[in-house]
Structure 1
């Protein structure tokens, strides 16, 4: 009679007027949310104090940006408004993101916010969405393919660093670099004043005004006494390092270095100082700087300088020289001998034979006389030797006789 009783399911208390732990509602049939701290909620409406990552009065919703059975998962940063489905995390994507849960970057982007672009040096424009690493196209290098290979620059590494860059190295974007000798300009693609050529290794001509010339071919505007595209020649009649000297009076043109004549004012002169006369046997007495007749030889003379007479034995020709002006060979063969010339030759042969015979006789007579003289001298020497022997023998016999006579006296 004090109100105590046996409790139905889900109820508790001495009077069965309380819901068991984790239950609420008039019949205690409803379960408190797992978001409630200690799984305890108000018996009447289920309200409670929420665990972390839960929200709403009954703590039956995930806090913004969370999903999962226990709201333990974070919605992707790519979800628009950073909110997603509580069960599977699906959402509408913000810019630069893609995928059902918006957790991937669109092609060509990487990073946690997909804010960074893959390098244009990546093959296909694709890179790792976490760190941006990729495989490089030609002319690119580095783990993210942001650098150009050595000696290249430009947005697509399509340009070559200037040959004038020290170490062939330049800024990857604008090509600026430190210049080596003879080069100038921000990208070292110009020669310093006074030099030209692809490697700026050639000096502009002394004849260039202000000593400057075109970088490619060296062309320039000329000082006085110079001419040519590169102003590297002296005008006619001048020579010397600075084309300041006048050629000799006899020269028509002269060597630009030493002033020696290349051609003479007079066609009848030759030599490097034009002070020798051409051979009088040159036609019009005209010759080259070396003295060679340049218009041919007078009749019956040959050689380059027309100073040799054709052989007298050459047969005459109708007109012109009887021999070649180049080598002296008879044009019409050797002329035939006359009877007089033949007889003269025979007489000369007889006289020659007589002279030879006489000379031979004289030589033989000389040899005989020399033999006789040798014989006489030999005989004389033999007689002298015989006389000396006989005298020696007489003296020897006299000495012997003296000793014999002395012996007889002793007795």
Structure 2
């Protein structure tokens, strides 16, 4: 029994150790992948299949848990439990080769992505061939593996001592930056200048050499100026001039540089005459441009104002000329005719059915009404028309003559034609038909109803009608009745949906094409959204939104609407518009911002001038011996000199009499009271007398009166 128990114990230990070894092996050999940001153990069946468990099925060759839609990156194998080889991110599922894409910072599919992208690539990532989309700072080259001039080191972060050199160590100079030369690339190569030696000396420099600022030492023949960019004028004899451009002129040229034409001529050789439409005999030498006389337009004033023709542009083109333009010579319509007319002067109507026709053949239709085609406008499109040009057969597998042969099986998704390619077609029995071309978004439903409404400019269930058929200046209208929502520039829809001209009081005649609100403001004297309200009568101009006056026509009024009179006491009856304050001062015996307050009545007046200043203080003194800024304080006179001396002497005699009386009194008291009490009483009496003496003040003053205010 002991033997059996020992054997079982050994077997359990062996099995436990084997199980532990298998677990450690399983952990060490664990393969994981990141799916949607979560690390997943790919040894779990179906865990790393593309599409998850739904794409993990039995395969007759590969058995259970076969990933039918491949593996997530970077896994491979029938059950997607192995990594792609090398640094491949995606590879062949069964063999791991070829490598389809590389992990970030690696490239070269042929070597299983074992080449590392240059550190000079932004983010360390590169293309399949090692090239980089963008280089980090201080790197250059297709693979961003070269330092720019002036930098060196593994990260191109260290500076070469000589910044115009390409170096591999600080004091080195292996080669020069483009345009530089010298032992340490300290100067420009011949023919170049500027700090970076990047600018080539002007081509007009003789010998191709110039100073460091680009100034030529000498110009080649026929040029002048500091950098010899300027050609000598063609008006110079032999095309030669001095360094300042002056020269001897040919006969048809004038000016110190011979670059002007004689009066009445223009052109490169001054051989062309200025137009009779120029307001003066002069025109631009370069292009003949000039200021035009009445009825003439264009740069050279050699064309008539739209709608006019003739030598002096005083005749009117035909009303049927397209664009209202015609030949200045004979009045022939140069841009063709408006729809419905033909002929040289567009006075002949096109044949019936033609929306427009050739200018010189009224029976040959260019466009037709009601969707018809052909030179006679009798044949629908995609049809074979005969015997009256009526559509009987659809052409080239087109179907449904009743729908102008716009249906075809090529628009179906299958031979059975149960659905159409997209919403721009609708199903009609066994074919799909084109939606009306003017449907917004191109989609429709059976019955030719546009799903998203019509394109701007069209209306109707099938969007076949033009907004301009109802109003020729309408850009967008109601789907059902064609009432206009948005009009062309210069117009807006009224309440009835008809396009009307912007109010004539709009600046530049411009208004919002939907609301009619003037978008450039109003002309002077009008305000409101449509500039249809008059500014107040005394406004020079007013604000469009509120009608508040910007300024007043009359300086005697003020207020937001210039409808409040300035006070009559303002000088000239004028005041500031914003506050009503009298800007020139007061007229009369008044003061204050608005001259409403009468000067104090005790101010002394002089003539007709105000007796007080703007603060109400009297300017010329007071009446009735009054004083103070507003003359409200009265003067009191106090006598001095002899009177003062007499009063002082009387005061002294009075004190002596009081002292004598007090002495007598104290003598009698001492006889009847104890000595200590008499002494205390004597001290108190003495203090009282001292206090009375201190109350008197004697001052020596001059012989005059001093004034006290009361």
Bin of the TM-score, shorter chain as denominator length: 0.3 to 0.5
Structure whose residues are more often helix by fraction? 1
> TM-score scaled by structure 1?
0.35
> TM-score scaled by structure 2?
0.22
Structure whose residues are more often strand by fraction? 2
Larger Rg: 1
The higher-RCO structure (CA 8 Å, 6+ apart) is: 1
